[in-house]
Amino acid sequence: MIVSPAALDAFLAANDKAALVRLAAAKGSTPRAAGTWMLVSHDAMLGTIGGGQMEFLAIDAARKLLAEKGSETPVLDLALGPEIGQCCGGKVTLHVSLLGADDEAAIRAEVATNADALPSVFVFGAGHVGRALVKALALLPVRAVLVDSRQEELDRTGPDAEKRLTALPEEVVRAARAGSAFVVMTHEHSLDFLIVRETLLRGDAAYVGMIGSKTKRASFERYCARQDSAVDAARLVCPIGAQGSRDKRPEVIAAFVAAEVIATLPAEAGTVVSEASTDA
């Protein structure tokens, strides 16, 4: 699970007290590497240390600590075998503590560093498909940013999504890092064309996609011909997610577009500081 800065902010804002569970040591086959962490409150969690009985035991210890029923700093040494109903075969040491100011600062810094290492995917348009796509991308090793000029539409997306309110989306395109991906699906075809043209003019985008049909693509190519000859419209993906299902529900379209986008990024994209996993 990839924790975004927005998700961390939302969790901390909603929970005034939390416990930190950190995987202090991992030997043999374990679901996660040493250093991986999760936050646990009385009724919520953020992140994962690998799931299974190991995680259930850690959550129980964390909530006992929050309720002041456990020891001050529980340490769990667990063999991931039949004794706890897990068959990974490795051994882990888990440290559980109340989240303090220093811990919070360190986690914020780590999450920010991880986010900076992720390739960016800019989704222009906070309509039904745009919101569904950002949710789908949240599960992948990318930094998804939802861009729109309408605050009310951005507000329809959950608080853990990264959002950008702007009347000048072309400036977002120009400021993006090389290798970013761009998916364009605003409420106006003319605005779509403007944004897509800007992304193609960069020449360094990993992916440029625009929602629509073959007819819309042809209209865009005519638009570019009237503007200039510097745009390589052949690099545009339109329609997007066309190799997937014919199902037009936003969530289904989003699933196929997310797969299309991630397939264009380098295989090592999104390697982060302490969220690495190994086979269990």
Complete domains list, the chain, with CATH: 5-113 (no CATH), 118-262 (3.40.50.720)
pLDDT of residue 278: 38
pLDDT of residue 184: 98
> 250: cis peptide before it, omega within 30°?
no
pLDDT of residue 187: 93
How far from 32 is each of 37, 88, 147, 169, CA to CA, in Å? Answer: 9, 11, 33, 39
pTM of the model: 0.74
Regions in the chain scoring below 50 on pLDDT:
270, 272-280
pLDDT of residue 89: 64
pLDDT of residue 161: 83
For residue range 97-130, list pLDDT tens digits in order: 999 999 999 999 999 998 888 999 999 999 999 9
For residue range 39-52, list pLDDT tens digits in order: 999 999 999 988 88
pLDDT of residue 280: 40
pLDDT of residue 279: 37
